[in-house]
Amino acid sequence: MNTYVWKVKEIAAKSHRITTAVQLKAFIEENLGVIVTVQTLRALMRGSPVAPRVEMIQLFCDAFNCRSEAFYVFTPNAARAQQWEKDRSEGKKASPLYQPKASPLDEIVKVPDETIQGESAGKPKSLRATFTDPRTLYKDRLISKE
């Protein structure tokens, strides 16, 4: 269930008779001097964005000369409140809205040298002996055809 309403396409059509992203792009460039890609406007006109940027909301407010409530409205999320009541009755604690960033390490951890059969491998070993070079197979085929 969406907890917000996004009606950019309806407001554009109703207030300025704009029905396509190309028309909206030209309108914004002409009236506000801001360049927005057609792909961005098309995506915003087709559906509700997951997280609309404040700059874009302000741009639409300026372009349509309206408040954001005309095309972007939040509605209460009753399911969240009910879920919290249930969780709180089960003894759960409140969770942070945003997770804290990981604390930076104060020291640099040095990885110990790997040991191969008890010997320290100071320099990495080459894997050349492990894999067959495909050029040698090709040379063998050429020699056998001659």
pLDDT of residue 63: 93
Structural element, H or E, at residue 72: strand 72-74
Q: Where are the alpha helices (DSSP H) in 1-146?
A: 8-16, 21-32, 38-46, 54-64, 78-89, 134-145
Output the tens digit of pLDDT for each of the chain's 146 residues: 567 788 899 999 998 999 999 999 999 999 999 999 999 999 999 988 888 899 999 999 999 999 988 888 888 888 888 888 898 898 888 877 667 766 766 666 666 655 555 555 566 666 666 666 667 666 656 566 65
- Predicted TM-score (pTM) of this structure: 0.55
